[in-house]
Structure 1
């Protein structure tokens, strides 16, 4: 079965999801919907996407500026099996009734509340519980990283509890001209910050507390974790648990990857589309274990990390693939997800 997919919202996440859907052998992208008439929508049309107007007002505005309009959002919903809603925060929840009325399954993003769908999704943790559902919510970029990393350690029986500090980017790079945080750091007003409780919508037994602050940069997020283990363990045991999980890749200070921007530059050098990083990048040579405590730091590329999860969520809702590991393997192979970014080190030859 080829899954017919529509994307509602052609922004930071939507355009990446659209590209990923089009790359999947078992999916057919039937179009993208939006309300904008600017360069973003015109780019979508130029790339060969069918462009649909999300509202009657948008339909009029698009036609007035010469955007080739394939129809309305209703027309798109009449053609698809699944819609991925990547519209702005709190807009998506208002679209739920339209999706239900059309009999279309819907994947939402982490800006919406867990209550909107009653189910939150990270493929490696709870794929099977989404199979056949009408809706799910792919959790936010930071929450996705928490579930991937802490979930891997929990699955290995190593994690008792986790306490983390998140240094968040101020805004998306493409929005930085609209204003943002300059020359300061803005702590979130409550502890725990929302990411910890959100992770428990996927892993209910996870003992996690997060604190967060926004900093004056736009290139991804940075997490710092103090982990209480279930028992004294070696550093290699912790690393092995992370190696066993999908979508976690190791980077090293010793390779010159010493800051967020260096990893972003590496993704560009690797030829990643838009310089995207779908993996959680864990600094291997920073990770430290002392008895039953572990300390680690990692990088979250907020613009792309949820894309593979969204692809898996599409398969889960439609039930075309019921095994999570199989869907993850297909998605990761097509996208080019890695466990290591750099070639294996070669031992120096004797002189």
Structure 2
């Protein structure tokens, strides 16, 4: 089997997880990871025997002075790869794109970049086929991924008319909570809709979705509350069956002690998930209510992990090593251990 050689630019919160996920795939090979840092984070990549590259010669000298074995620069890594996943901080990826284009290298950016950067936004269960053979795509953000997953399940069941959601957003990534974030306050986003609703429409323009968002003083995950108008009256089991058609929505219950995001995080750690990650949307089954043609539900999103399986599927679609979305999703789910119920 020919393996696709995958490069990763940016070995941070998302990049290290993508690297680990690529290493688990039997149809992919990790060509290397690129960064500018010299601290413990990149040293973990060295310990895992990932080929490490520096962004340029100046950073290469700094990394080598810190005792890090460097294989070359980003330019060298580009030459070794079939596709590159740019996981650099927001707005930096857009500056790297010219390098990828000059080398005729397929590339993936993350949700912090604008849709116009690639002209295509990706979510595996919704539009895998439209990414086949593309030169570039954007894996949408964690919140947008959860919106598209859940609403696509309802849409495919013929139940979705319009959706209105409120997002309680974590203030920053957990490892940066000593540097950034908020304390003892809530910060509503000024604009309604918040950016996640329009972002979901970059994947599926037919979604009638409006979101509002509030930044909250915690870092573990995001929490969404949704009010959906259905196309007709439906029962709770019919709605749950619709959600069950998504292999990346996992049902949880208050009755199992999963009544808060910290309990869910503890469960992921108990399951020995890498970094305590949850790739699924964790949707409360016993909170979900249907009244006539109105649906109310809530779920939790792991902002650091949910886009990882989507990125793996995007690699397969763009390189066409797997043209069938269900086959790719099945392979990715199995390799990462996704479940439909906790």
Classify the TM-score, shorter chain: over 0.9
What is the Cα deviation at residue 155 of structure 1? 1.0
Provide the residue aligned with 2:211 in structure 1: 210
What is the Cα deviation at residue 306 of structure 1? 0.2
Q: Deviations over 1:229-283 (max 9, x none)?
A: 0000001110000001120001100111000100000000011111000000000
CA distance in 2, matches of 1:47, 1:245: 33
What is the Cα deviation at residue 182 of structure 1? 0.3
The question of 1:322 aligning with 2:319 is answered: no
Cα RMSD over matched residues? Answer: 0.6
What is the Cα deviation at residue 336 of structure 1? 0.6
Name the TM-score, length of structure 2 as normaliser: 0.99
Q: Deviations over 1:88-129 (max 9, x none)?
A: 000001111101111211011000000000000000000000
Provide the residue aligned with 1:274 in structure 2: 275
Partner secondary structure for residue 160 of structure 1? strand
Matches within 5 A, 1:175-214: 175-214=176-215
Provide the residue aligned with 1:116 in structure 2: 117
Q: Deviations over 1:37-67 (max 9, x none)?
A: 1111111111111110012221121111111
The question of 1:98 aligning with 2:113 is answered: no
Provide the residue aligned with 2:239 in structure 1: 238
Provide the residue aligned with 1:30 in structure 2: 31
Instruction: Give the 4+ runs in structure 1 shifted more than 2 A.
Output: none
Partner secondary structure for residue 49 of structure 2? coil
CA distance in 1, matches of 2:7, 2:246: 30
The question of 1:15 aligning with 2:16 is answered: yes
CA distance in 2, matches of 1:33, 1:262: 35
Partner secondary structure for residue 59 of structure 1? helix
What is the Cα deviation at residue 30 of structure 1? 1.3
CA distance in 1, matches of 2:60, 2:118: 28
Provide the residue aligned with 1:291 in structure 2: 292
CA distance in 1, matches of 2:170, 2:154: 26
- Which blocks of at least 5 consecutive residues in structure 2 are unaligned? none
CA distance in 2, matches of 1:55, 1:181: 35
Q: Deviations over 1:172-227 (max 9, x none)?
A: 10011113100100001100000000000001010000000110000100000000
CA distance in 2, matches of 1:203, 1:245: 16
CA distance in 2, matches of 1:257, 1:159: 27
Name the TM-score, length of structure 1 as normaliser: 0.96
Query: Would you say how many aligned residue pairs link Structure 1 and Structure 2?
Result: 341
Partner secondary structure for residue 213 of structure 2? strand
CA distance in 2, matches of 1:101, 1:59: 22
CA distance in 2, matches of 1:324, 1:97: 29
CA distance in 2, matches of 1:37, 1:151: 42
